[in-house]
A and B are shown apart, each in its own frame.
Chain A
Amino acid sequence: MNKTWIIVRKDWAEVFKNRFVLFTVAFLPLILTALPLIILYATRSTSDLEGFSSADMPAGFAALCNEMSGGECVQYFIVSQFMLLFMLIPMAIPVTIASYSIVGEKTTRTLEPVLATPVTTFELLAGKALAAAIPAVVVTWLGFAVFAVGTRVLSLSPNVTARLLDPLWLMAIFIVGPLLAVAAVSVTVMVSSRANDPRVAEQLSMLVIMPLLAAFFGQITGLFFINQTLILWMAVGLVVVDSGLLALATHIFQRETILTRWK
């Protein structure tokens, strides 16, 4: 069996026995998937939305509605706000898993016996990264699937769901999401090398979500609206940032550094 996969399986077996990690992995996607659906459910009656037109929407957003009715545009506006929050999932879950997995190995001093095996540091880092990123990405995709189905059932018309499945959303969920997970893991590896408490590592690493939250509030306040160009630039920017972060994380995650400098 591939050694990276051996590490991934071991990490999952260990870290998911931690109730806090399990809670974070399960609760965050649940709440972020359920919340927009609850709002859609509350506004699903046509009478609630009659009288609204695209012109009532912020100007930047109204342009995105095209041929939609006023009610559909309002519902699309509501679910759009959750797109960025949806991208919190692939950032927050890896931070939690990687913090507990890496700092846990430090505090129980299990890294030295692992490093004494023929495993390469790349295999070990890849194992740790995948163990943290895979659940996040899978849960994000599952949550999105539930969200899309729920939107189809609860929205005014298939037009709203069709918008969720356009390239903007698909790129955000299937490309930007995993890239965000890589960034989160890399930052957590760096923070974990200096932290001795998984909670401290988690809290510090969570700072990585700040730009995403800034974008969320920017959109809510109408400063800008997420469109395909913005998502594309986000993906390109993340590829560059991830390359730098991965290089730094790999530099920190060397046998000698781990054994002699990780305190």
Chain B
Amino acid sequence: MIQTENLTKRFGDILAVDRLTLSVEAGEVFGFLGPNGAGKTTTIRLLTALISPTSGHATVAGCEVGLEDGKIRRQVGILTESPGLYDRLSAERNLAFFARLYEVEDVDGQVERYLRMLGLWDRRHEEAGIFSRGMRQKLAIARALLHEPQVLFLDEPTSSLDPEAARLVREFIVGLKREGRTIFICTHNLDEADRLCDRIAVVNTRLLALDTPSALRRQLYERTVVFHLREAEPRFIRRLQTLSFVRSVREMDNKLVVALDDPEKHNPVIIRSLVEAGADIQFVGELRRTLEDVYLRLVGSEDGKSNQR
């Protein structure tokens, strides 16, 4: 649905997007993460045909960016970083204006459909300027969907929302995913990206990593299993160190932290070995690295390289 090849954007001397190559499948929820100034919004603007690339190519819904911009704009919906609503116009009139610009056939029907879907129908005659942040964000999401786009670009969809409003927006995105829409999300909320996205790209002007959240964890961190013991003794550690598949083992507050390649296969062996050695195992669990760990490691190492350069 989205393909980019060496997509590059320069603003004078500033390199905003550097040779970005990626592909997003139809129906996929794709997370786009990176620090401020990493080129996330610029990439969205490139892919929504708002600005032209300096070099490289991109296609969205089969249309070439820079050559078929009008077609692209008809097939994509965008939630901009700021909701960008006409404060003096009613919610209904805001949507009707955009529906007409998108050449929606049944303007009234579509406006009603999305106002109802997002719980704003009863307040349709009120000016958008008096809406809460959550309501404004919902109205902006409705605006992005009025023309039933194949691809939806969401730039920070839950930023500056309270937890309840953020949850509502996330649930709505999950609903859109179920409908099979392709969704491209820029976010700083790593937990949100972890929960919503099928795959994630981490960028800092250039692409640093791209994979599923779990694969990114595996790429950067070995899998780690924690064995909670009644009392950890040095001989238990020595015993585990004799096992060839154990990559490392350390003790921490009566817990043995063991690095393994394949916990599903080797956990039973370790448990048997510890029990034979006299250990009382209370609990076994995998130490899950968060997406935040992955992100900070990727972006941190990139920053380190930049500083060295």
List the interface of chain A (C-beta within 8 A of B).
1, 3, 6-7, 10, 13-14, 17-18, 108-120, 255-256, 259-260
Expressed in whole angstroms, the Cα–Cα distance for A115 and B101 within the complex equals 10
Given contacts A14-B89, A112-B80, A118-B73, 16 further A-B pairs with CB under 8 A are A6-B101, A13-B88, A14-B86, A18-B88, A108-B84, A108-B87, A110-B86, A112-B50, A112-B78, A113-B140, A113-B143, A115-B50, A116-B73, A118-B101, A255-B51, A256-B51
Query: Is the Cβ of A3 less than 8 Å from the Cβ of B85?
Result: no
Does B48 belong to the interface (CB within 8 Å)? yes
Say yes or no: A259-B82 contact (C-beta < 8 A), given A108-B87, A118-B103: no
10 interchain pairs, CB-CB under 8 A: A1-B100, A14-B86, A108-B84, A108-B87, A109-B82, A110-B85, A112-B80, A118-B73, A118-B103, A260-B51
Does B245 belong to the interface (CB within 8 Å)? no
Say yes or no: A112-B102 contact (C-beta < 8 A), given A10-B97, A117-B73, A255-B50: no
List the interface of chain B (C-beta within 8 A of A).
11, 45, 48, 50-52, 70, 73-74, 76, 78, 80, 82-89, 93, 97-98, 100-103, 140, 143
| A residues near B93, Cβ cutoff 8 Å | 10, 13
Smallest CB separation, A118 vs chain B (Å) = 5
Query: Is the Cβ of B102 less than 8 Å from the Cβ of A113?
Result: no
Query: Which has the most chain A C-beta neighbours within 10 Å: B76, B100, B103?
Result: B100
Query: Is the Cβ of B102 less than 8 Å from the Cβ of A118?
Result: yes
Q: Report whether over half of chain A's contact residues are helix, strand or loop; otherwise say mixed.
A: helix
**Closest residue on chain A to residue B76 by CB atoms:** A116
| A residues near B100, Cβ cutoff 8 Å | 1, 3, 6
Expressed in whole angstroms, the Cα–Cα distance for A3 and B84 within the complex equals 19
Query: Is the Cβ of B101 less than 8 Å from the Cβ of A109?
Result: no
Query: Is the Cβ of A118 less than 8 Å from the Cβ of B89?
Result: no
Query: Is the Cβ of B80 less than 8 Å from the Cβ of A109?
Result: yes
Expressed in whole angstroms, the Cα–Cα distance for A125 and B52 within the complex equals 20
Query: Is the Cβ of A259 less than 8 Å from the Cβ of B50?
Result: yes
| B residues near A17, Cβ cutoff 8 Å | 88
